[in-house]
Amino acid sequence: MTKVIVSPSILSADFANLERDIKLVESNGADWIHVDVMDGHFVPNITIGIPVVKSIRKVTLLPLDVHLMIENPQKYIEDFAKAGADILTIHFEAVKKEDLRSVIEHIRSLGVKAGLSIKPKTNPQEILEFLPMLDLVLVMTVEPGFGGQKFMPDCAEKIKIIKSNSESELIIQVDGGINDETAKICIENGATSLVAGNYIYKADDVKNAIESLKL
Ligand code: DX5
Ligand code: ZN
C-alpha cells in the first residue's frame, strides 16, 4: 500500500509560537508542513506570506507544502521558491487556463514540486489535461478560506476521477475537514496526502492524531 503523507496545516497552530508548534508535529510523525497563504482576494481571509515561509524554513527539515490561495500566483512563485517552499500548489481558478501550462512549467523550473488545486465547485475534468505535468493535485474538501470547516463528502468522489486519469506517481492530496474518519474515505478513493489543521492541533495527543490518519 502507498504510504500516506500527512501534512499538518499550521493555520491551526499558535502563530505566536510557530517554531514550537512546527517542532511539535515534526517530532510526532508529520511528513510535510502545510502552509496556507491567503490574500483576501481569492479567498476572504488573509494569513501569511513570503517572510513567514522564509523564517519557518530555518526551523524545520520537513518539506514545506505551500498552498497558495491567492490571485495571480505567477507573480509570487519565484519569491516563495526562494523563501524555501518545496511544493507550490496554485489554484486552477486563480490563473487563466491558457496561462496555466507556463505557470506550472515555471514552478518546476525552479526545482519545486508543482501542485494544482480545485475548489469544491470545480469539475475535475477541467484539469485532466494538466495531470501529466503535475507532481500533485489538491482536491479541496471544503471551500478554501478557513480552518475548522466540515468535510464535503461529494468532493471525495473527485479523487477517483483524478486517480483513474493519472500515473501512479501523482500525489493526490485532500484538504479541509480531515479527521480519522474522513481520511479513510479519501484514502479509499485514492488520496495519498492528507492535510489536517484542527484535527491535529486541537488533539490532546498529537502523535496519536497523526498516526490515526495513516491507518
Ligand atoms: C482551508 C485551508 C486548510 C485548513 C484546513 O482553506 O486550505 O489547509 O487549514 O483546516 P482543517 O483541517 O481544520 O479543516
Ligand atoms: Zn490548505
CA 27 / ligand 1 centre spacing (Å): 21
Q: What are phi and psi of 118, to 5 degrees?
A: -125, 140
Ligand nearest the Cα atom of residue 43 = 1
* CA distances in angstroms from 31 to 39, 166, 205, listed in the order given: 26, 23, 17
Ligand 1: nearest atom to the Cα of 151: 14
For residue 215, what pLDDT is reported?
81
Segment 39-58 mean pLDDT: 98
* Whether residue 36 lies in the annotated active site: yes
Contact at 8 Å (CB) between 174 and 186? yes
pLDDT of 1 strictly over 70: no
CA 22, CA 15: separation in Å to the nearest integer? 10
What are 39's strand-pairing partners?
46
* Whether residue 175 lies in the annotated active site: yes
pLDDT of 178 strictly over 90: yes
List pLDDT tens digits, range 98-152.
Answer: 999 999 999 999 999 999 999 999 999 999 999 999 999 999 999 999 999 999 9
DSSP string, 84-120: T-SEEEEEGGGS-HHHHHHHHHHHHHTT-EEEEEE-T
Give the residue with greater pLDDT, 2 vs 61: 61
* Best CA proximity match to 98, nearest among 137, 122, 129, 67: 129
For residue 151, what pLDDT is reported?
98
Segment 62-73 mean pLDDT: 98
Catalytic residue, chosen from 31, 65, 135, 175, is 175
CA 160, CA 149: separation in Å to the nearest integer? 23
Average pLDDT value for the chain: 97
CA 181, CA 178: separation in Å to the nearest integer? 8
Grid coordinates in use for 109?
A: 523550473
* Amino acid occupying residue 213: L
CA 29, CA 10: separation in Å to the nearest integer? 15
